[in-house]
Structure 1
């Protein structure tokens, strides 16, 4: 049995290649699930601030009977209702509000911070998308310590565990500690490919470069039976 020389075989392999330009993103889809680093002591301090200050009026409201709510002075009642409107703790309501915030530029009383009890949630599918979503909505993202979910539900006076908690501008501006912490201590979310996102036109402007390279030419086999 005869065989082709080795050099002819290599030459044949070289012939079966062609030059191409391969597109590459300068900001590839990396770091999309990187959460801001928050020191454990700060996590505990923020949780305590939620328990002892921001959420107390909502707990009082939730613990009142219908008759007690009706008998409240108008000023007190309106203050509690305002606080309730500025705090979101349902997954669906938070998702809808963040999506609205991304799509509507002139939205008032926006969400400023989202607290997530990551260590109390069994499935990552429930929170893996929040870094990208919060980055687009310009919302601070904070992880709370383990077992925070039950503490939040107790603080709010509700039976179900609270895994997500969002605060709007209206309640943050009245709390100096939370406001100062968000502005000076909590980093913004940094996701590489979103640096090219045009917030005015809602478009992702891709910065593409091309790499000159080669690829083999693969002949397609004709599988049709004659």
Structure 2
């Protein structure tokens, strides 16, 4: 029994002698590759000052008011169930305005597809599809009023890829919290948090100028060549670096098994 106790004491003493210095000596220098990952970019939305956002909302409300009145009259006629000879006139800019997630996303996706088709086939730009389709250049999103955030997370990428060129970009405008309620009241449609406009609305000239001068373009560095057809097929070198660090020196499996048997 005494021998067993002595053996335990020796084992404990040996464990204590394994100091921090010994642990430091059992590390080796290694180099880990670090790849420039585009998905680490957390915020691609252009920043908008509160004062600017308020000006944009006020101008947007004026533009959407005729559409809201048209929706209101149409609902009243439908709910009354009466047949009328003269229906409310459709606003002249009705087809230049999109309201809602589905219609906006579908139109932006079509714009992105048309651009790819025109790049692959130079004659495609003259087809009927490309000459008659609307180009929605201004997209307004009440980012902070829409949940979950995954619903709006793709808008920076979508507006970038749906742009015609580097000189004719789709503008993404994030509106502050509470803007969805104001837009919904003007349109008479609940949860109207996403609106898109073409650049052809005469009454919106002031809004266009304000956005073009004060709101930055969406910036996605790793997609810059997408809007430059002259360099679209150029290949770039891999953006990788090596980080010098250290790693513990682990014993080999056979040595570790032998050490475990000795301790037993």
TM-score (norm 1): 0.70
Structure with the bigger RCO (C-alpha within 8 Å, sep 6+) is 1
Tell me how far apart the structure 2 counterparts of residues 145 and 31 of structure 1 sit (CA, whole Å). 21
Residues 199 and 208, structure 2, Cα contact 8 Å, conserved in 1: no
Structure 2 partner of 1:109: 134
User: 2:214 aligned to 170, 182, 185, which one?
Assistant: 185
Tell me how far apart the structure 2 counterparts of residues 21 and 183 of structure 1 sit (CA, whole Å). 43
Tell me how far apart the structure 2 counterparts of residues 133 and 206 of structure 1 sit (CA, whole Å). 26
- How far the C-alpha of 1:215 sits from its partner, in A, is 9.9
5+ residue gaps, structure 1, are 1-9, 222-226
Structure 2 partner of 1:131: 156
Could you say if the C-alpha distance between residues 40 and 72 of structure 1 is closer, same or farther in structure 2, counting changes exceeding 3 Å? same
* 2:114 equivalent to 1:84: no
* 2:86 equivalent to 1:71: yes
- How far the C-alpha of 1:58 sits from its partner, in A, is 0.8
Alpha-carbon deviations, 1:52-108, whole Å to 9, x = none?
A: 2x112212211243656x6269xx54xx1x422111112111111111111212644
Greater helix percent: which structure? 2
5+ residue gaps, structure 2, are 1-23, 119-129, 163-168, 254-264
What RMSD, in angstroms, separates the aligned Cα atoms of the two structures? 3.9
User: 1:170 aligned to 200, 217, 242, which one?
Assistant: 200
Could you say if the C-alpha distance between residues 131 and 204 of structure 1 is closer, same or farther in structure 2, counting changes exceeding 3 Å? farther
TM-score (norm 2): 0.61
Could you say if the C-alpha distance between residues 13 and 47 of structure 1 is closer, same or farther in structure 2, counting changes exceeding 3 Å? closer
2:39 partner SS: coil
1:167 partner SS: strand
